[in-house]
Chains A and B, each alone.
Chain A
């Protein structure tokens, strides 16, 4: 198969040279890497801001910063991590890079649109971040920009929502692109149920991106109407209702959580069968649960507002729907664990990330049950418990899946192998740090410590110390992981086409792939995870 003349996409000479060969490239793989480098940079800024918050909470009273700085830091941390890192996260990086290869295509359906998405992302990021520095003094509204506080202190709400809207456009375009790619460009013979699971989750995600993101646009229009024309939508001073803003915000931002987590689940569904050397258990059940999550996920936003004063009927309806969305997630976990039954497991770094993903994702999901039930939600809402819950889902779920994915596809993307021993020690330190950082916050929440607290009473001190120490361990792990990967991208051993024994199509092409991925588009005649040696 391998053609001696073919050069990898990294060496391919196009129309442009140097950095322009990247930022003007319409190759899905280069665009995926552009996203990777931008997202990882924002992620590192977000991590440092988070660590600064934890340092401040080491002791009651002032530790290292004043309250204004603290409030600005948690706002920035939230805005960067949610809008610039986790929402684009896996689809933009690994979706772009892997989707066409996994379904046997040469590129996405609209390569130019794909490049435009990245440019819009960068533009949106600049608007969103600059909005944080406009108006009087540093921003301190929290990433949710709740009215009327966000109107009151300074005027940054409009540009911030504008930034979210522009970023949303990037998301919508990526979604359209992936949906069309999946519909039109699957290799001959790849029926829907012969498609690997990562593309399936990107498909579900694409629909959420298209259908939920326009709500941000509507919200933006209403804010403009309020600010410019003085129509009272949200600001009670003009006769508006701040609760309406919360509804609109969460109608988008809750499905956004599924934009984050579905592709993470997809990546885990790729890693587990490869390292188990075994077909994934319940392929169809996983596909159906993916689509079920994408669908039901639209109707649960109200669970962010159980204490806002909504009617009782709204409360128990949203509570019931929230519990229903838990079922497909549970089904996925059972199937992943079931895959390991009678498997032959290679204990490699990506597998450790996937296995620990299951653990932290279960904690995140199960703690969500206590938040979905009305009686317990009222007590736990807006406390550290919620912060712990969503960090277990978003950082634990999405973050661990991202780490697993980067260690899994690293040899494919860079054509080199990393040092597995260092990678595994990085993982274990990170995992310990993660649990030490976030588990105490469940306890703090149960005992009543509200979130976004700069200062706290003495009985919250102990768990906060443990949590801060956890943040140091986590960062140590992160440094080890990143150093290893960066060094290996330049100096690692050359990787073969298929170092893990994977069965999906990306493992049949060169490492790193050539510009057009396939010399000849393959014909598919078996399921994606058929690990039998001699299939009948």
Chain B
């Protein structure tokens, strides 16, 4: 747990790691000690060496000793574990709120100014407070390097806070099993200097577009698919994941199931619109129902137009 790379990555690391070292140390001591006794007795008192066993039924003194010592030890472990953890519940009042949205199988992060990213940016040396929202099923937000984890429960807001003390990039995993692509539900947290973070989150909501220097519809489309986590399930290169690929989608005739019956439809603008806003009304044959949520009230009309242009672009290749 005490790798150089994660040392002081967050303010919790040292407390969690010292609790771990304390518990691990005692555990290892007892494991080695008792195993040594075990092996020593087996060798010393094997039948060929000791033909006659001595009749001993027990000893109250020993029973009391080996009840009291473990009791003291486990209570001290409890205390260490509790005192090393309780800070995780005291969210500082000035912590910067970042809304964290999980859906199968991606995380997105929304900052105070409305900027949305698929990578979590946090300022170095400042506390951040993540409001965790799960849209579909249970997920769990886990940054191993920071020693933090919190389940994300649909219909219930949970929170997690931390303060990172070291610039760098760290892995984010989903730790609660959430279906087919659970192990691909990953992201990165980038700890950046506080002034950069401020610049990024203080400018207006076109920040994302500016950051990505939109030059054509293709880049706008890519940004939107990243912003909403579309790429967790759909690809732009024809690979089939959980949902169909965007490649060559426009103008194609598709076989879809509506209420279990097969229909043929042409993938036009109306079809794309339905697929985004009412994803479960018609399901392309060969894919499962119920995996995609509606993006109504999320994807704006302008973004929809940009997506459409992007899909046309992918279909002209």
Whether, in the assembled complex, B176 has its beta carbon less than 8 Å from a beta carbon of chain A, the answer is: yes
Chain B residue numbers with a CB within 8 Å of A447 are: 1, 3, 144
**What's the minimum C-beta distance from A533 to chain B, rounded to whole angstroms?**
9
Chain A residue numbers with a CB within 8 Å of B179 are: 71, 140, 149, 153
Chain A residue numbers with a CB within 8 Å of B136 are: 148, 152
Whether, in the assembled complex, A241 has its beta carbon less than 8 Å from a beta carbon of chain B, the answer is: yes
How many chain A residues have a CB neighbour from B under 8 Å? 87
Whether, in the assembled complex, B54 has its beta carbon less than 8 Å from a beta carbon of chain A, the answer is: yes
Say whether A309 contacts B50, CB under 8 Å: no
Whether, in the assembled complex, B209 has its beta carbon less than 8 Å from a beta carbon of chain A, the answer is: no
Cross-chain contact of A309 among B27, B142, B156 (Cβ < 8 A)? B156
Say whether B183 contacts A67, CB under 8 Å: yes
Whether, in the assembled complex, B258 has its beta carbon less than 8 Å from a beta carbon of chain A, the answer is: no
Chain B residue numbers with a CB within 8 Å of A327 are: 67, 70-71, 74
> How far, in whole Å, are A452 and B178 apart by their CA atoms in the complex?
10
Per-residue contact bits, chain B 81-99, to A (CB 8 Å; 1 contact, 0 not): 1111110110000000000
Chain B residue numbers with a CB within 8 Å of A344 are: 45-47, 50-53
**What's the minimum C-beta distance from A54 to chain B, rounded to whole angstroms?**
15
Task: Using A152-B137, A376-B19, A453-B182 as known contacts, say yes or no to A338 and B151 having CB atoms under 8 A apart.
Answer: no
Say whether B173 contacts A342, CB under 8 Å: no
Chain B residue numbers with a CB within 8 Å of A152 are: 136-137, 290
Chain A residue numbers with a CB within 8 Å of B26 are: 369
**What's the minimum C-beta distance from B292 to chain A, rounded to whole angstroms?**
12
Q: Give the interface centre of A153, A312, A343 by most chain B CB atoms within 10 Å.
A: A343
Instruction: Name which of A159-167, A211-219, A379-387 contacts chain B.
Output: A379-387
Q: Give the interface centre of B3, B83, B180, B184 by most chain A CB atoms within 10 Å.
A: B180
Whether, in the assembled complex, B158 has its beta carbon less than 8 Å from a beta carbon of chain A, the answer is: yes
Say whether A146 contacts B177, CB under 8 Å: yes
Whether, in the assembled complex, B154 has its beta carbon less than 8 Å from a beta carbon of chain A, the answer is: yes
Chain A residue numbers with a CB within 8 Å of B27 are: 366-367, 369-370
Say whether B16 contacts A284, CB under 8 Å: no
Cross-chain contact of A241 among B34, B155, B174 (Cβ < 8 A)? B155
Chain A residue numbers with a CB within 8 Å of B81 are: 319, 372-377
> How far, in whole Å, are A22 and B84 apart by their CA atoms in the complex?
58
Instruction: Name which of A10-18, A172-180, A272-280 contacts chain B.
Output: A272-280
> How far, in whole Å, are A320 and B156 apart by their CA atoms in the complex?
26
Whether, in the assembled complex, B175 has its beta carbon less than 8 Å from a beta carbon of chain A, the answer is: yes
Whether, in the assembled complex, A532 has its beta carbon less than 8 Å from a beta carbon of chain B, the answer is: yes
> How far, in whole Å, are A142 and B71 apart by their CA atoms in the complex?
35
Say whether B288 contacts A243, CB under 8 Å: no
Say whether A346 contacts B47, CB under 8 Å: yes
Task: Using A241-B156, A337-B41 as known contacts, say yes or no to A382 and B175 having CB atoms under 8 A apart.
Answer: yes
Cross-chain contact of B77 among A153, A323, A358, A531 (Cβ < 8 A)? A323
Chain A residue numbers with a CB within 8 Å of B78 are: 316, 319-320, 323, 372-373
Per-residue contact bits, chain A 136-160, to B (CB 8 Å; 1 contact, 0 not): 1100101000101100110000000
Per-residue contact bits, chain A 319-341, to B (CB 8 Å; 1 contact, 0 not): 11001101100110111011011
Q: Give chain B interface residues in 1-51, CB to chain A under 8 Å.
A: 1, 3, 12, 15-16, 19-20, 23-24, 26-28, 30-31, 34-35, 37-38, 41-42, 45-47, 50-51
Chain B residue numbers with a CB within 8 Å of A499 are: none
Say whether B45 contacts A341, CB under 8 Å: yes
Cross-chain contact of B149 among A312, A342, A378 (Cβ < 8 A)? A378
Chain A residue numbers with a CB within 8 Å of B20 are: 370, 375-376, 379, 446
Per-residue contact bits, chain A 468-495, to B (CB 8 Å; 1 contact, 0 not): 0000000000000000000000000000
> How far, in whole Å, are A262 and B115 apart by their CA atoms in the complex?
55
Say whether A455 contacts B184, CB under 8 Å: yes
Cross-chain contact of B37 among A67, A337, A456, A527 (Cβ < 8 A)? A337
Task: Using A345-B47, A377-B81 as known contacts, say yes or no to A307 and B86 having CB atoms under 8 A apart.
Answer: no
> How far, in whole Å, are A404 and B26 apart by their CA atoms in the complex?
29
Say whether B183 contacts A455, CB under 8 Å: yes
Cross-chain contact of B45 among A281, A342, A358, A455 (Cβ < 8 A)? A342
Say whether B38 contacts A337, CB under 8 Å: yes
Say whether B84 contacts A457, CB under 8 Å: no
Whether, in the assembled complex, B299 has its beta carbon less than 8 Å from a beta carbon of chain A, the answer is: no
Chain A residue numbers with a CB within 8 Å of B171 are: 448, 457
Task: Using A137-B288, A363-B31 as known contacts, say yes or no to A369 and B74 having CB atoms under 8 A apart.
Answer: yes
Whether, in the assembled complex, A282 has its beta carbon less than 8 Å from a beta carbon of chain B, the answer is: yes
Can you name the residue of chain B whose Cβ is closest to the Cβ of A288?
B63
Cross-chain contact of B154 among A236, A320, A324 (Cβ < 8 A)? A236
Say whether A312 contacts B56, CB under 8 Å: no
> How far, in whole Å, are A453 and B280 apart by their CA atoms in the complex?
27
**What's the minimum C-beta distance from A249 to chain B, rounded to whole angstroms?**
13
Chain A residue numbers with a CB within 8 Å of B70 are: 326-327, 330-331
Whether, in the assembled complex, B140 has its beta carbon less than 8 Å from a beta carbon of chain A, the answer is: yes
Per-residue contact bits, chain B 129-155, to A (CB 8 Å; 1 contact, 0 not): 000000011101010110111110111
> How far, in whole Å, are A373 and B38 apart by their CA atoms in the complex?
28
Can you name the residue of chain B whose Cβ is closest to the Cβ of A338?
B62
Say whether B63 contacts A331, CB under 8 Å: yes
Whether, in the assembled complex, B215 has its beta carbon less than 8 Å from a beta carbon of chain A, the answer is: no
Q: A309-B153, A376-B19 are in contact. List 9 more A-B contacts (CB 8 A).
A: A146-B177, A307-B140, A307-B175, A334-B34, A340-B42, A343-B53, A362-B35, A373-B84, A454-B183
4 interchain residue pairs of minimum CB distance: A373-B81, A448-B144, A236-B155, A375-B84
Question: Could you show 7 A-B contacts with beta carbons less than 8 Å apart?
Answer: A276-B53, A285-B63, A331-B70, A366-B28, A383-B175, A454-B182, A455-B183
